Amino acid sequence: MAEGEVKQSTAENTAYDRNDLPELLPIYYKRLFPYGPYYKWLSYGGVQKSYFHNREFSFTLKDDIYIRYQSFADQSEMEKEIQRVMPYKIDIGAVFSHKPKDHKTVKPGAFQAQEKELVFDIDMTDYDDVRNCCSGANICEKCWPLMVIAIKIVDRALRDDFGFEHRLWVYSGRRGVHCWVCDESTRQLSQTARTAIAEYLSVVKGGESQTKKVSLREPMHPSLKAAFEIMTKHLKHYLFEQQDILGTEDRLKKVLRLFPEADILLRIRKNTWQILREILQEDAEKGGDSEDIWKRWLGTVRSEKERDNMKKSPFPLHEVVFQYCYPRLDVNVSKGVNHLLKSPFCIHPKTGRVCVPIDVEDVDNFDPFAVPTISTLCKEIDEYKEQPGKENEPQPGTKRKVQDYQKTSLKKSVDTFNKFVKGLSVMWRGKMIENSDQKGDF
């Protein structure tokens, strides 16, 4: 990559040809898809025998043929069906009262969604009004930090504010991220509770016609304070350097429109009433880069607050940071128990990239542009096979054959997923012991 060139991903510019998908999917589903840990995850250790049986899957086939209400008795049946139909996309739905494949034989009203992981969908297109580099399906290294910030903020809140332990973050394969919260109590939440949690995490509100979408009041909620601390660590690199939000006249005007209008914040200067927006514009006209201007603004706002001029809008600069950086959730995805969401490890048909799990502890180093495409993975298998003695070489210290995914760049992602499933196993083992003790009481 040439100096100064920005890595960018679009539906068209990845080294992948969608026409090759019919030939590549059989290889991927036969040799690389991690059926074992995938089944362990969605069956939750078989604590409830019907849990996996009653789980809905949906398949999107070639030519956008969409099939809902798929369900399977066990891992073997799931594997065979996926390898038979070769879905271009897999979505995971709720656990129903009956087997989804039998839903037409159930009396009307009796077929009901009963449980589902609490899920979150964060899409880069929802940030188009604050991105200065890309729009639509396009992403680049200048705007990807928005997803990093979103993961950090939402994950902290889910862990610390709600006590949820089992959270799986997944790259969507194109322009966003998903989160699956898998605690037992979470899977049993009502639609009302799911909506309340999603609303709790929603700060940026308003449609395209609304300019100012964040309003903060004093005292600031502890969760918002924690979120602001996370965003503050990204201000210099993301907001000032990569997005340069005050670096041009148009960008400056766009930010200034977020400040209070004449009837909210006033001060006397040269015997005339002047609004905060005008004062900050004068500060900006003194020159410097985005960071220089922001530092002057901090001093001005601090001075205004000391004069007691900030009662109706106590956090004007905080609000700018929240509007430009805070996570934007699709609340409708989170609140519905029966809402379907793209499965981890399926292939995004437009980019060819795998929907890989993200290690939250190393999220700063996650590179969406390094996520392998199905074309890359199939090539890596072939190249590994061509190396003499490699195909059946056992893993060091074991007699086990090397798994196919371990021959490719998918290994790190599968290892991350295995770590997550292993953490879940502690939960379901405890539940099995609890159930065993209860049976022993009779």
pLDDT in tens, the chain (442 residues): 444 555 665 434 447 899 999 999 999 999 999 999 999 999 998 878 899 999 999 999 999 999 999 999 999 999 999 999 999 999 999 999 999 999 999 998 999 999 999 999 999 999 999 999 999 999 999 999 999 999 999 999 999 999 999 999 999 999 999 999 999 999 999 999 999 999 999 999 988 889 999 999 999 999 999 999 999 999 999 999 999 999 999 999 999 999 866 444 444 444 344 578 889 999 999 999 999 999 999 999 998 877 766 667 789 999 999 999 999 999 999 999 989 999 999 999 999 999 999 999 999 999 999 999 999 999 999 888 666 555 555 555 555 678 999 999 999 999 999 999 999 988 776 565 555 444 444 3
Is 56 one of the annotated active-site residues of the chain? Answer: yes
Q: CB–CB of 114/95 below 8 Å?
A: yes
pLDDT of residue 433: 54
DSSP 7: P
- The pTM (predicted TM-score) of the whole model is 0.90
Alpha helix (H) residue ranges in 134-261:
145-156, 184-187, 191-200, 222-232, 249-256
pLDDT of residue 398: 54
pLDDT of residue 9: 54
How far apart CA 92 and CA 131 sit, in angstroms, is 31
Contacts 24+ apart (CB under 8 A), 405-410: 405/31, 405/32, 405/34, 407/380, 407/381, 408/32, 408/372, 408/376, 408/377, 408/380, 408/381, 408/384, 409/372, 409/376, 409/377, 409/380, 410/32, 410/354, 410/356, 410/372, 410/377
Instruction: Compute φ and ψ for 191, nearest 5 degrees.
Output: -65, -35
Q: What angle do CA 116, 120, 121 make, to 5 degrees?
A: 125
Q: Which amino acid is at 218?
A: E
| Per annotation, catalytic residue among 79, 121, 155, 319 | 121
How far apart CA 284 and CA 249 sit, in angstroms, is 10
Token pair, residue 31, equals 């040799």
Is 129 one of the annotated active-site residues of the chain? Answer: no
| Per annotation, catalytic residue among 79, 115, 123, 319 | 123
pLDDT of residue 66: 96
pLDDT of residue 276: 84
Q: CB–CB of 329/202 below 8 Å?
A: yes
Which domains are delineated in the chain?
3-200+329-440 (3.90.920.10), 222-325 (no CATH)
pLDDT of residue 269: 47
pLDDT of residue 438: 47
| Per annotation, catalytic residue among 56, 79, 304, 380 | 56
Q: Which amino acid is at 346?
A: C
DSSP 361: G
Positive or negative, the Cα torsion across 36, 40, 45, 49?
Answer: negative
